[in-house]
């Protein structure tokens, strides 16, 4: 899943495989994409472009055919000969997809999957329909013939082109991968969790923390690793929100930075949007990191950190990070000074 949608940016191989197959299908349905595609298309797609695989098809061809409707829905065609464009299912005419726009006439088609070329053998339209047509079908045929008359006759050596609806360019595997994997959901923290100023291992920590996947006691109870979900310092359930927003150490940090109000919402997303500054999420990331470190030191090493060393640790961390992006240095030092303020 992409990082912007809350994933780790690692490619899903199953989806990638589907995208490769869809790209293969798109090449089959376009002219001028190479001899191997032309040969396959001449063999399999000579008069019609199937929508569903046949029982007798090979497994390879079945997997390609299963993706043809997806490719057709994602693209529009600039036609010439029309040998790789489906008359009823492709988007090639101003009217839209004819199977949707003229559904009654479509139901009279002898071959619903026919190519344009098969219905225009010598440059003259010869639509093959079951006769007699119903009244509605005749009206829709009239509309279609009018639209067809407005289409200029193609030259013989021009090739069909299939372009993506979204970009107007020839589709690539990447386009299909995005099409298959994009769920339209944007994970808001994705914009700052992966910023380069934060060292990589800490970025992974932040991702785990914001996804609620750290091994806090509440998660450990769910995993049946322990039976007590209580915080070691106070009578509350130990969750990521508790450690980073409510527990005693958290109060020290957020009080010092003047954002106590936002922690009442018990939601890290509220806190990150509380201060309208582009360096605030970075400062917050350093705070979350050291609150978690303090918790681990307490639980595993029985070492309790005091208020002043905790604030100094966060300030040191931020100072270190500031060297990674000198442009943000002065803004980050504002937070460092706040943390080190002796008040
Ligand atoms: Zn606590």
Q: How many CA atoms does the CB half-sphere of 158 hold within 13 Å?
A: 11
Task: Give the Cα separation of 171 and 38 in Å (integer).
Answer: 17
* CA distances, 45 to each of 257, 266, 290 (Å): 67, 59, 62
287: nearest Cα among 300, 274, 299: 274
Q: How far apart are CA 76 and CA 309, in angstroms?
A: 63
On whether both 43 and 118 belong to a single domain, the answer is yes
For 4-23, what is each residue's pLDDT tens digit?
777 777 888 888 999 999 99
**pLDDT score, position 315:** 93
pLDDT score recorded for residue 314? 93
Q: How far apart are CA 40 and CA 30, in angstroms?
A: 12
Answer whether residue 55 shows pLDDT above 90: no
Q: How far is the CA of 193 from the centre of ligand 1 (A)?
A: 25
Express as a percent the part of the chain with pLDDT over 90. 16
Ligand 1 center to 237 CA (angstroms): 8
| Final residue before a domain boundary, out of 134, 155, 181 | 181
- C-alpha distance from residue 165 to each of 72, 183, 224, 291 (Å): 10, 18, 50, 48
Quote the strand ranges of 44-182, DSSP E.
Answer: 75-78, 161-164
- Do residue 116 and residue 231 come from a single domain? no
User: Is the peptide bond between 132 and the residue preceding it cis, with omega within 30 degrees of 0?
Assistant: yes
Residues 236 and 329 in one domain: yes
Are residues 120 and 175 both part of a single domain?
yes
pLDDT at 157 exceeding the cut of 70: no
- DSSP letter (8 states) at residue 231: -
Ligand 1 center–CA 295 separation, angstroms: 9
* Distance between Cα 215 and ligand 1 center (Å): 15
Give me ligand 1 centre to Cα 308, in Å.
19
Give the integer Cα–Cα distance in Å for 140 and 142: 5
Same domain, yes or no: 194 and 164: no
**Do 159 and 231 have their domain in common?**
no
Give the model's pLDDT for residue 47. Answer: 80
**pLDDT of 244 over the 70 cut:** yes
**Of the ranges 20-24, 153-157, 229-233, which one carries the lowest mean pLDDT score?**
153-157
Instruction: Give yes or no for residue 288 having a pLDDT over 90.
Output: yes
Asked which of 70-84, 176-190, 294-308 is least confident by mean pLDDT, the reply is 176-190
**Chain-wide mean pLDDT for the chain?**
85
Compute the chain's Rg from CA coordinates: 31
Reduced to 3 states, what is the DSSP secondary structure of residue 237?
Answer: strand
pLDDT value, residue 20: 93
Domain count across the chain = 2
C-alpha of residue 279 to centroid of ligand 1, in Å: 28
**pLDDT (tens digit, 9 = 90+) per residue, 306-333?**
989 999 999 999 999 988 888 888 889 9
Q: What is the pLDDT of residue 152?
A: 62
List, for residues 37-48, the tens digit of each pLDDT value.
878 888 778 788
Distance 236 CA to ligand 1 centre (A): 6
Which pLDDT tens digit goes with each residue over 165-215? 888 888 888 888 888 887 667 777 888 888 889 998 899 999 999 888 899
101's tokens: 């726009």
79/94 Cα distance (integer angstroms): 12
Does one domain contain both 132 and 233?
A: no
- Categorise residue 65: left if φ over 0, alpha if ψ from -120 to 50, beta otherwise: alpha
Sign, CA torsion 2/8/10/16? negative
Give residue 63's domain range: 3-181
Instruction: Check residue 184 and give its pLDDT.
Output: 63
Which of 150, 181, 212 marks a domain boundary? 181
Residues 248, 334 within the same domain: yes
Q: Tell me if the pTM is above 0.85.
A: no
Task: Identify whether residues 205 and 154 lie together within a single domain.
Answer: no
Same domain, 119 and 209: no
């Amino acid at each position: 899943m992409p990082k912007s949608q809350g994933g780790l940016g690692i490619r899903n191989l199953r989806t990638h495989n589907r995208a490769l197959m869809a790209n293969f299908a798109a090449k089959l349905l376009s002219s001028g994409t190479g001899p191997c595609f032309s040969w396959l298309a001449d063999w399999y797609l000579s008069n019609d472009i199937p929508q569903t695989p046949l029982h007798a098809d090979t497994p390879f061809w079945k997997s390609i055919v299963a993706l043809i409707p997806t490719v057709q829905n994602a693209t529009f065609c600039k036609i010439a000969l029309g040998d790789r464009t489906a008359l009823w299912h492709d988007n090639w005419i101003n009217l839209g997809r004819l199977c949707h726009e003229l559904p009654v006439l479509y139901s009279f088609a002898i071959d619903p999957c026919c190519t344009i070329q098969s219905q225009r053998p010598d440059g003259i339209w010869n639509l093959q329909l079951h006769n007699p047509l119903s009244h509605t079908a005749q009206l829709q045929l009239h509309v279609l013939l009018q639209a067809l008359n407005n289409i200029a006759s193609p030259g013989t050596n021009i090739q069909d082109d299939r372009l993506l609806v979204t970009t107007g360019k020839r589709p690539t595997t990447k386009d299909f991968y995005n099409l298959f994997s994009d769920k339209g959901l944007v994970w808001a923290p994705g914009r700052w969790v992966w910023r380069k100023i934060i060292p990589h291992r800490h970025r992974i920590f932040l991702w785990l923390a914001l996804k609620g996947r750290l091994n806090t006691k509440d998660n450990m109870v769910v995993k049946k690793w322990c039976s007590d979900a209580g915080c070691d310092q106070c009578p509350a359930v130990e969750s990521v929100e508790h450690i980073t927003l409510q527990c005693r150490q958290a109060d020290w940090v957020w009080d010092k930075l003047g954002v106590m109000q936002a922690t009442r919402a018990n939601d890290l997303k509220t806190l990150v949007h509380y201060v309208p500054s582009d360096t605030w999420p970075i400062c917050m990331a350093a705070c979350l990191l050291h609150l978690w470190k303090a918790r681990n030191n307490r639980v595993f090493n029985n070492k309790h950190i005091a208020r002043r060393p905790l604030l100094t640790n966060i300030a040191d961390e931020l100072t270190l990070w500031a060297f990674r992006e000198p442009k943000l240095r002065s803004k980050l030092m504002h937070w460092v000074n706040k943390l080190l303020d002796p008040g």
